[in-house]
């Protein structure tokens, strides 16, 4: 709650300074005021200084992203105040200064010694430590430098993949990976959880309990999708040295109100990010191919065959090639 209060107060200071005096307050000016804030509000002495500095760094990052979007002509979206239920994490910017490991436990300044259930051994040199709250508890994540890469032996194979909704992806060999549709399958349960929340009295203990159950249901869907993406990416990376994919503008595609839910359920952007990251760790290559005319140009002779989205089979009048549209 203190980090949330500091974030909103710093944002209000920036807005007021610009409206009244046309002055831009920088992150470093706000960090220089932290000792005065601690003197005026003693409760902030219970929070490590680097955690407070990271709050101001996050606010500055949102401002920089806002100005970047303005320059590129995108929908800008001015930084907003955070509600009490919208601030779920805090970060120690330097490992060893406020956060360290001791005999398998995590020692956090101003908090104490915390027992950790490790998902895997820590590799590389820890740089930052982030503590985050999720629906089923608290999690710690380390960002590390000099993490060793384990390169896979070359296979001499390469492929292209086309992500879709009917099947999650199709390779250039014609192999298809079924679309699991995790959100669609869980919609009925999620709808009941939403109804349970809406029927509870605001501010009551029963409503808070219903909100937690709803958050856990959404978390389950999110983790199912993430697990599927990682396993699919690993499977591709083990088989192929080079993987090419269609560079889709997913942000634009989800504006289609008929397909937006299905596209978000498939999670193409998350999958392609995971694929790129896993390939870099394994010494593989992932190439983004411009999406223009990839479904129109014949892969047999190069003839351009216009077709609408409803046409799922490619039939080339020049060379007679007949293939599934995605393949």
* Catalytic residue ranges: 162, 246, 326
Which residues 6+ apart lie within 8 Å of 160 measured at CB?
Answer: 171, 172, 243, 244, 245, 289
Instruction: Give ∠ CA 86-35-22 in degrees, rounded to 5.
Output: 70
Give every strand in the sheet of 99-102, ordered side by side.
Answer: 99-102, 105-108, 112-115
Strands 285-290 and 313-315: unpaired
Contact, 51 vs 3, CB < 8 A? yes
Which residues 6+ apart lie within 8 Å of 13 measured at CB?
Answer: 25, 30
Task: Identify the residue whose tokens are 């910017």.
Answer: 93
Which residues 6+ apart lie within 8 Å of 182 measured at CB?
Answer: 221, 224, 225, 228, 265
Two structure tokens written together for 242: 């080079």
Q: Of 192, 30, 51, which Cα lies nearest the Cα of 110? A: 51
Strands 125-134 and 112-115: unpaired
**Could you give the 3-state DSSP secondary structure of residue 16?**
helix
C-alpha to C-alpha distance for 97 and 177, rounded to whole angstroms: 46
C-alpha to C-alpha distance for 272 and 233, rounded to whole angstroms: 8
**Could you give the 3-state DSSP secondary structure of residue 177?**
strand
């Amino acid at each position: 709650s203190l980090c949330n209060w500091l974030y909103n107060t710093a944002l209000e200071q920036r807005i007021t300074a610009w409206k009244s005096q046309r002055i831009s307050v920088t992150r470093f000016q706000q960090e220089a005021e932290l000792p005065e804030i601690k003197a005026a509000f003693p409760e902030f002495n219970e929070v490590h200084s680097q955690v407070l500095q990271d709050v101001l760094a996050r606010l500055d990052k949102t401002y920089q992203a806002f100005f970047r979007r303005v320059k590129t002509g995108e929908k800008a979206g001015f930084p907003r105040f955070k509600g009490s239920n919208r601030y779920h994490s805090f970060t120690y910017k330097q490992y060893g200064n406020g956060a360290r490991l001791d005999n398998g436990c995590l020692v956090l300044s101003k908090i104490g010694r915390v027992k950790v259930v490790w998902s895997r051994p820590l590799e590389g040199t820890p740089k930052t430590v982030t503590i985050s709250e999720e629906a089923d508890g608290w999690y710690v994540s380390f960002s590390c430098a000099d993490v060793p890469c384990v390169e896979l032996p070359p296979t001499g194979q390469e492929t292209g993949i086309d992500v879709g909704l009917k099947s999650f992806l199709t390779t250039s060999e014609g192999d298809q990976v079924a679309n699991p549709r995790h959100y669609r399958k869980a919609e009925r349960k999620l709808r009941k959880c939403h109804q349970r929340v809406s029927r509870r009295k605001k501010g009551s203990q029963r409503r808070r309990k219903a909100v937690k159950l709803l958050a856990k249901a959404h978390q389950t869907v999110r983790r199912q999708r993430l697990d599927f993406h990682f396993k699919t990416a690993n499977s591709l990376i083990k088989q192929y040295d080079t993987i090419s994919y269609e560079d889709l503008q997913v942000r634009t595609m989800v504006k289609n109100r008929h397909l937006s839910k299905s596209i978000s359920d498939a999670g193409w952007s998350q999958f392609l990010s995971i694929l790129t990251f896993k390939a870099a760790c394994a010494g593989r290559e992932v190439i983004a191919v411009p999406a223009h005319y990839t479904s129109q140009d014949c892969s047999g002779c190069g003839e351009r065959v216009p077709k609408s989205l409803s046409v799922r089979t490619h039939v080339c009048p020049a060379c007679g090639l007949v293939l599934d549209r995605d393949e």
